[in-house]
């Protein structure tokens, strides 16, 4: 999921295998939120830099460009986005007990 949700052109070095392990217990929606947060971090860095440079005169060529998504961006996104699937685990277990397959 992470590979398909994050832009491919700038993320060749992201540790997708580690991301799989780090998102254990995350729902698909949680993973989508992690990827969105990681993808926004380069833009936030750019905005901070532009605000810092706001008072100075610059040509378009001098302005900073948006950078790639880094491992640090992913790490921070994982720290700020907690898994939510465990919140409904009891409900899912009860549904499985009531309606789940009994095939052996």
pLDDT of residue 4: 87
How long a stretch of residues is the chain? 104
**pTM reported for the whole predicted model:** 0.72
> Which residues of the chain fall short of a pLDDT of 70?
9-12, 57, 85, 87-89, 103-104
Angstrom distance (rounded) from CA 23 to CA 5: 14
The answer to whether domain 2-99 has CATH 1.10.8.60 is: yes
pLDDT of residue 56: 76
Please compute Rg for the chain using Cα positions: 20
Going from N- to C-terminal start, the domains of the chain cover 2-99
């Amino acid at each position: 999921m992470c590979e398909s949700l994050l832009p491919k052109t700038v993320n060749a070095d992201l540790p997708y295998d580690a991301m799989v392990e780090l998102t254990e217990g995350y729902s698909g929606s949680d993973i989508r939120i992690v990827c969105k947060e990681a993808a926004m971090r380069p833009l936030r860095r750019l905005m901070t830099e532009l605000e810092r440079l706001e008072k100075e005169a610059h040509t378009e060529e001098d302005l900073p460009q948006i950078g790639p998504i880094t491992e640090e961006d992913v790490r921070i996104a994982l720290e700020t986005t907690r898994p939510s699937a465990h919140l409904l685990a009891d409900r899912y277990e009860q549904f499985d007990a009531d309606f789940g397959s009994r095939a052996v």
